[in-house]
Amino acid sequence: MKVILMRDVKGIGRAHAEVMTADGYALNYLIPKKFAIPATPTAMKEAELRRKQSVDRSLVDAALVAQNIASLAEARIVIKVKANEKGHLYDAVGIPEISVAAKEQAHVDLPGDVIKLERPIKELGTFDIPVASADTFGKFSITIEAE
């Protein structure tokens, strides 16, 4: 049965894609859970329109993220956390904390999936944080200080 996916379905396809699935799978799982709709001519036209809107939105989002990355390169972000005498943190600083600090201190809304931190930071000091979105790459510095 030919259906149009309403969201990404692992192993089947991306949102707004027209896919061919087994009749039982489409009728008993995809359509009742609102993961897909039958591929009628009207639905196919709407899916094409949504696909174009999705591409346009992703281009705008990529441009905005590139602008944010450039503005972060010049910003100074400081995160204050509890640490012991040796400079080790009691709680690691991860992607969510970095994203919140960038928003509060540099006024830059940076999604968490753009920050490419290998592992959480567990020491005091200054660190370069790599960021990447689509074709845009960059980095910015954060300073971890003791409270």
What are the structural domains of the chain? 2-63 (3.40.5.10), 65-146 (3.10.430.100)
The predicted model gives 75-83 an average pLDDT of 91
Residue 27 pLDDT more than 90?
yes
User: Could you read off the pLDDT of 33-56 as tens digits, one per residue?
Assistant: 999 999 999 999 998 898 888 888
Do residues 93 and 81 make contact, with C-beta atoms less than 8 angstroms apart? Answer: yes
The predicted model gives 74-102 an average pLDDT of 91
pLDDT top residue among 147 and 135: 147
Query: pTM of whole model > 0.75?
Result: no
Length of the chain: 147
In terms of Cβ atoms closer than 10 Å to its own Cβ (0-12, 13-18, 19+), residue 142 is buried
Show Cβ contacts of residue 83 under 8 Å, excluding neighbours closer than 6 positions: 89, 90, 124, 146, 147
Averaged confidence pLDDT in the chain: 89
